[in-house]
A and B are shown apart, each in its own frame.
Chain A
Amino acid sequence: SQTIHQWPATLVQPVGSPLSLECTVEGTSNPNLYWYRQAAGRGLQLLFYSVGIGQISSEVPQNLSASRPQDRQFILSSKKLLLSDSGFYLCAWTEEQGPIQFFGPGTRLTVL
């Protein structure tokens, strides 16, 4: 069966520090991968999606970037964090031809 992992589960970082969040999927091949951010009391905002290795699409201009170095690995990064980057970050995947999104457990990021 397929599983999705996110690391770390929680993170507290100072403003201006770098960021790297990792998402890995097991048990499937060629998934579409997504990064969402969930601000407190709000819905999910799509940040990035990827349909293949090295293929990244950005939904909104921001302080973050994403990379997909391997088929089942998706990384969210920042060179310098802002206070507004605080939130709950969720990774999700879909099968190559399927619409159902499956979500990881999330990473709680607090920028101080």
Chain B
Amino acid sequence: AQSVTQPDIHITVSEGASLELRCNYSYGATPYLFWYVQSPGQGLQLLLKYFSGDTLVQGIKGFEAEFKRSQSSFNLRKPSVHWSDAAEYFCAVGAQKTGRRALTFGSGTRLQVQP
């Protein structure tokens, strides 16, 4: 069965500092990988995705993520955080085959940005 671990429940960074949110997954084959962001009381918005090819993927809002097969990781990064980035971030893995296509989510990392 697939699983996702986000080891950091809560992270605080200063505005303008760099950010890295960790995500480790467990899956028997090459998965689909996603990062979503959720503002308080809102739905989830897709930041970026990895299906295949280049292991460094670019997303919206200046975010990027790198797929490292050897480490089973898909960490999210941003070189300079803005106050508006404060939100909860979810990593998710999906199966690369037909079927229900539901995603398995990590428990999330809450990002706080200090001025």
Contacts and interface: CB of A to CB of B under 8 A. Distances in A.
Interface residues of B, number: 25
B36 to A, nearest CB: 8
Interface string A1-36: 000001000000000000000000000000010100
A61 interface: no
Contacts of B101: 32, 94, 98-99, 101
Which of A44, A46, A100, A103 has the most B CB atoms < 10 Å from its CB?
A44
A48 B52 CA distance: 28
Given A32-B100, A42-B107, A100 B49 contact: yes
Contacts of B44: 44, 90, 92, 103
> Could you tell me the dominant secondary structure of chain A's interface residues?
strand
A100 B108 CA distance: 18
15 contacts: A32-B100, A43-B105, A43-B106, A49-B102, A51-B100, A92-B44, A98-B101, A99-B51, A99-B94, A99-B96, A100-B46, A101-B94, A101-B101, A101-B102, A103-B45
A80 B7 CA distance: 36
Given A99-B32, A99-B51, A102-B46, A34 B102 contact: yes
Contact of A90 (B32, B43, B51, B96): B43
A108 B94 CA distance: 26
B90 interface: yes
Interface of B: 32, 34, 36, 41-46, 49, 51, 90, 92, 94, 96, 98, 100-108
B109 to A, nearest CB: 10
A87 interface: no
A90 B98 CA distance: 22
Nearest to B99: A51
Of A43, A98, A106, the most chain B CB neighbours within 10 A belong to A43
Contact of A43 (B42, B51, B96, B107): B107
A68 to B, nearest CB: 14
Contacts of B34: 100-101
Given A32-B101, A42-B107, A99-B32, A108 B43 contact: no
Contacts of B102: 34, 46, 49, 59, 101
